[in-house]
Structure 1
Amino acid sequence: MEYRKLGKTDLNVSRLSYGASPLGSVFRDISEDDGIRTVHTAIDMGVNLIDVSPYYGLTKAETVLGKALKGIPRDKYILSTKAGRYGAEYADFDFSEKKIRSSLDESLNRLGVDGVDILFLHDIEFGNLEQIFNEALPCLQALKQEGKVRYIGVTGYPLKMFSETIKQADIDCILTYCRYALYDNSLANIIPSFEEKGVGIINASPTGMGLLTNRGAPEWHPGNQQLLDACQKAVKLCQSQGVDITEVALQYAIDHPAISSTLVGTANPVNIVKNIEWAEKPVNQALVKEIRKLFDNVPVVWPSGYPENQD
């Protein structure tokens, strides 16, 4: 497993990392035992960054992850969790200092640890930016000074949110999803601004929340029909060449040298092994070029959060 430095932190994170949302049965009902074995397999194979959130499965993912981490030496993994998002509705977001502090305490209890390496504000496009910058981020800074968290950052979908945050606040890293993938690599346009400030980049969902899989996108996917159709063409193109599109999507996403780590999520031990093995192989650049052409002139971005916070 290759390791990369996360921005200006002292964390060396595995190029492929584990996204624990499936432990909350977010995509399908899972076997808790399978989920725990998946975490153990990932760590045994060199994955050292694990990301979770109280939102995933409404605290179930953190609870199951806590069971999986029991007995594993703390220096074997780098742990990140989030605060601010607790459900699917706008009313389920709370970026107040009081809630962030209680949320972190509850997360630490579920995870069975004394502190986390990274605490993120979760999907800040659903918050009031005045509160984000004047209350929530100062709270994270205070928690960092108090030693409850080592590093801080924000997550979200609109790239505009990251650009605005690094202008107004001192953060250590960002967690972006679906914005550096085969169908949309627009994150690359703003990477130099992160590098300039030493802000580390963690990328999530290289398949675009199921778009670039043989199974296809779930019914709830927010992408438009043109995007869904183009992704199906990409799947068929790969199938015609005897290739699993998820393999190409993963290899493409982790190939950017400025992206420290890419999160993959599964609750199946066999799948995590497959993902790690794929990550060790070089990407087929000719096939990538063919796939990328399918998305020319296709609208690839969907709305997320308050209108004023969207790209």
Structure 2
Amino acid sequence: MNQDYGQLRNQLGRLGFGGTGVGNLYRAIPDEQAAGTVEAAWDAGIRYFDTAPHYGLGLSERRMGAVLAGKPRDEFILSTKVGRVLVPSPATRNTRDPEGFDVPAEFRREWDPSEAGVRRSIEQSLERLGFDYIDVAYLHDPDVYSMEDAVKSALPALEKLRAEGLVRAIGVGTNTAGAALECVEAADLDLLMLAGRFTMLEQPGSDGRPGGGLLDRCLELGTGVVSVGVYNSGILAKPELPSDAHYNYSQASEEVLQRARQLAGICKEHGVELPTAAIQFPFRHPAVVNVTVGASRPEQIRNSAGRMSSEVPEELWRDLQERGLIAA
């Protein structure tokens, strides 16, 4: 194990803060609200903060860096991502970002998996964040662009940056279990940020898709898993499911809704709210070292912190397994 990562892993804590919401995902929020949300995460004891150039075309990095600049640098872990380099786009500056963030499209995202591109991305992120170093660099969504580029170029570039001491740890962030497994096998990764693929509704391999042995393989290799998207785009985020719940960024099917309602009902039988079980579920696998959640309001992150510290009886998990609703 990378010695620096061994120390870093102990600092992650169980709950991390993800920067999509403070990057104006879906809707714009005021700077004061964004700052208050990051401060609330700190006050809740969170010491792992994750962001990316993709989130609000750099807005998330700028907002997060502004708040964390007032905190002791050795007391928190900061991660960002490479792969998408931001390039000025004067022609689109009067339009909105087409990729879901409510910000002006003053930049465009350019896939650059080369070593030069990875280094340029890190340099740009450090400038936006206002720090001299980041702790963790993830390759962001390689499956969206080119897995061949990821394996042949971007991952070796990250390994080189780690060897040079420019980052303490490296990893990959993806929402595809098969792509994650390919990257884990191709490089010496410290962390894997897995979005939405290890939740109460979905576990790798439970549906026969590639990546079924992903978490077991991570455990064998010593690659820690940071689980994100644990609410599957909102369907597991509330104790009572609305009829228009979203699953994986779109309207949930009736089949998925029925399964989620079953989960909620069994949780209720055990005196546990569905989102409380959902945020703690990933720790059922020993490869998972952290669960990171986003928030755009202070009360959201305080609520998540409270759910993470709530007690969930072992009997609930056994009951869900026996009814075939979660994998053993």
Q: TM-score, normalized by length of structure 1? A: 0.82
Relative to structure 1, is the Cα distance of residues 8 and 100 closer, same or farther in structure 2, using a 3 angstrom cutoff? Answer: closer
Q: Is the 8 A contact 2:275 2:307 kept in 1?
A: no
The worse-fitting range, judged by mean Cα deviation, of 149-158 and 184-193 is 184-193
Return the alpha-carbon distance in structure 1 between the equivalents of residues 248 and 201 of structure 2. Answer: 19
Q: Is the 8 A contact 1:254 1:279 kept in 2?
A: no
* CA deviations over 1:164-189 (Å, ceiling 9, x no partner): 22222112111101122111122784
Deviation at 1:146, TM superposition (A): 3.0
Provide the residue aligned with 2:28 in structure 1: 29
Q: Is the 8 A contact 1:16 1:264 kept in 2?
A: yes
Secondary structure, in 3 states, of the residue corresponding to 1:9? helix
Relative to structure 1, is the Cα distance of residues 160 and 220 closer, same or farther in structure 2, using a 3 angstrom cutoff? Answer: closer
Which of 161, 171, 179 is the matching residue for 2:179? 161
* CA deviations over 1:71-94 (Å, ceiling 9, x no partner): 2110121000001146749x8533
Return the alpha-carbon distance in structure 2 between the equivalents of residues 29 and 254 of structure 1. Answer: 32
The worse-fitting range, judged by mean Cα deviation, of 233-242 and 168-177 is 233-242
Provide the residue aligned with 1:77 in structure 2: 76
Secondary structure, in 3 states, of the residue corresponding to 1:14? coil
Matching of residue 209 in structure 1 with residue 233 in structure 2: yes
Return the alpha-carbon distance in structure 2 between the equivalents of residues 71 and 53 of structure 1. Answer: 20
Computed over aligned residues only, the root mean square deviation of the Cα atoms, in angstroms, reads: 3.1
One-letter code aligned to 1:73 = P
Matching of residue 197 in structure 1 with residue 196 in structure 2: no
Return the alpha-carbon distance in structure 1 between the equivalents of residues 287 and 268 of structure 2. Answer: 30
One-letter code aligned to 1:277 = G
Return the alpha-carbon distance in structure 2 between the equivalents of residues 20 and 170 of structure 1. Answer: 26
Return the alpha-carbon distance in structure 2 between the equivalents of residues 124 and 175 of structure 1. Answer: 12
Return the alpha-carbon distance in structure 2 between the equivalents of residues 213 and 23 of structure 1. Answer: 18
Deviation at 1:260, TM superposition (A): 0.5
Q: TM-score, normalized by length of structure 2? A: 0.78
Provide the residue aligned with 1:50 in structure 2: 49
Secondary structure, in 3 states, of the residue corresponding to 2:234? coil
Deviation at 1:257, TM superposition (A): 3.4
Secondary structure, in 3 states, of the residue corresponding to 2:157? helix
* CA deviations over 1:141-160 (Å, ceiling 9, x no partner): 22223332111111112212
Aligned length: 292
Relative to structure 1, is the Cα distance of residues 27 and 263 closer, same or farther in structure 2, using a 3 angstrom cutoff? Answer: farther
Q: Percent identity?
A: 29
Provide the residue aligned with 2:151 in structure 1: 133
Deviation at 1:244, TM superposition (A): 3.7
Q: Is the 8 A contact 2:233 2:248 kept in 1?
A: no
Q: Is the 8 A contact 2:17 2:48 kept in 1?
A: yes
Q: RCO higher in 1 or 2 (8 Å CA, sep ≥ 6)? A: 1
Which of 1, 6, 9 is the matching residue for 2:6? 9
Which of 129, 133, 137 is the matching residue for 1:119? 137
Matching of residue 264 in structure 1 with residue 293 in structure 2: yes
Q: Is the 8 A contact 2:81 2:140 kept in 1?
A: yes
Provide the residue aligned with 1:306 in structure 2: none
One-letter code aligned to 1:93 = W
Secondary structure, in 3 states, of the residue corresponding to 2:232? coil
Secondary structure, in 3 states, of the residue corresponding to 1:80? strand
* CA deviations over 1:235-264 (Å, ceiling 9, x no partner): 566678875421221122344433100001
Provide the residue aligned with 1:144 in structure 2: 162
Secondary structure, in 3 states, of the residue corresponding to 2:250? coil
